[in-house]
Amino acid sequence: MESQAVPVEARPASGTLTAPIFLLGAHKSGASLLRSLLDGHPDLCVLPAEIHYFQLAGYWIDYRLRRALPQRMDRAAMIRSLTGFVDSQNRNDDRYADSVLKGRLDPEAFRAHLEGVDFDAPAAAFAGFARALAASLGTPLAAGTRVVEKSVENAENAVALRRMFPDCRFVHIVRNPYAGLVAVRRAQSKGGRFPALAVTALSFKNSHYFLFRNLDVLDNYQVLRYEDLLCESEETMRGVADFLDLRFSESLLEPTLLGEPWGGNSTSDQVFDSISRDPLTRWKEHITDLEIRIVNRLLAPVVDRFEYERLEPRRGTYTPVRGERFKTYLKNRALLWIH
């Protein structure tokens, strides 16, 4: 586990949020589990879904699974964008989603708390959005309470977040890239078809590229391995608590969502009521030679730096994968040729 930390300041940055905590990591990296473990801590307000602030606010997002081009947005456009997010969360019942909040947000309370927000000031806009979300969930943000937010595109926007909130802290969770790629691919597979992997693989590359860069330019940046969180849960969470200047609580070992037991968002359709070690090895039953080649091609520095076992394919590059249609086959092989 890599980390750099300095004491949390007592006063809020720019009068907006007090020492917020940002969770970073690619899809299926374990960031949702980490957020659920922080959910029950009495000193935190954990936003229960990825808020995708930078995408909603018109920033240029390169992370392919959330890719968006930049756009200028006035106050009215910002409010439409943010309220549209709340409306979509209220309708969402995707079991593989980051979290399911269908019908749990109060759109009127959300809109009321956006009144008076200065959308021309990035820190105030982000803070106003977070406060409005907390209010819409019936848990208005109390003075001094620290917000926890997790979005997959936070890694590429970490420098912007540090400029908004100089006292913020980052926790970036890393998972074995082989396992992560398999998990996302299984979630995307439909009707036995093997999907194109470029968007997922390039998203992983983006997240880990910014991980390496952020470690060089940002302080208060902790990196932990998903596998350590599963195997050495209490030791790892005590380390997280120390880094975040939180008193350790047994709640940090119990995954919850809005204070209720969180069953996870596993692609195997398993429901968990505690930290499970099943994801450590299950992916090995499903990984293909193609996925091994893609990870070795695009993510070898991650495998090496975080001491994962380097795998080698057993078959040739051009052997089709079961369920891989011709067009998908060409796209997947092009990923190996071009990148």
Sign, Cα dihedral of 151, 154, 155, 158: negative
Instruction: Quickly count: other Cβ atoms within 10 Å of residue 309's Cβ.
Output: 7
- DSSP code at position 23: E
Residue 332 counted as domain residue: no
Residue 38 counted as domain residue: yes
Residue 174 counted as domain residue: yes
Which tokens hold the place of 229?
């969180």
Work out the average pLDDT over 104-120. Answer: 93
The contacts of residue 45 (CB under 8 Å, 6+ apart) are: 134, 139, 141, 142, 145, 146, 147, 148
Residue 187 counted as domain residue: no
Residue 28 sits at the vertex; the CA angle it makes with 97 and 196, to the nearest 5 degrees, is 90
Q: How many domains in the chain?
A: 1
Query: 213-252, pLDDT tens digit by residue?
Result: 999 999 999 999 999 999 999 999 999 999 999 999 999 9
Residue 172 sits at the vertex; the CA angle it makes with 54 and 57, to the nearest 5 degrees, is 5
H/E stretch holding 134 reads helix 122-136
pLDDT at residue number 268: 47
Residue 130 counted as domain residue: yes
Residue 170: phi, psi to the nearest 5? -120, 140
H/E stretch holding 210 reads helix 198-217
Decide: pTM greater than 0.75: yes
Residue 157 sits at the vertex; the CA angle it makes with 88 and 105, to the nearest 5 degrees, is 25
* Total residues belonging to the chain: 339
Q: Is the pLDDT of residue 267 over 50?
A: no
Query: 139-193, pLDDT tens digit by residue?
Result: 888 888 999 999 999 999 999 999 999 999 999 999 999 999 999 999 999 888 9
Residue 318 counted as domain residue: no
Q: Alpha-carbon distance 91 to 14, whole Å? A: 34
Residue 204 counted as domain residue: no
Q: Is the pLDDT of residue 258 over 50?
A: yes
- DSSP code at position 215: H
Residue 148: phi, psi to the nearest 5? -115, 125
Residue span of the structural domain in which 40 resides: 21-179+217-281
Q: Where are the alpha helices (DSSP H) in the chain?
A: 31-38, 53-56, 75-91, 107-114, 122-136, 158-164, 177-188, 198-217, 226-231, 233-243, 279-282, 289-298, 300-305, 326-338
pLDDT at residue number 92: 80
Q: What is the CATH number for 117?
A: 3.40.50
Residue 263 counted as domain residue: yes
Number of alpha carbons in the 13 Å side-chain half-sphere of residue 40: 17
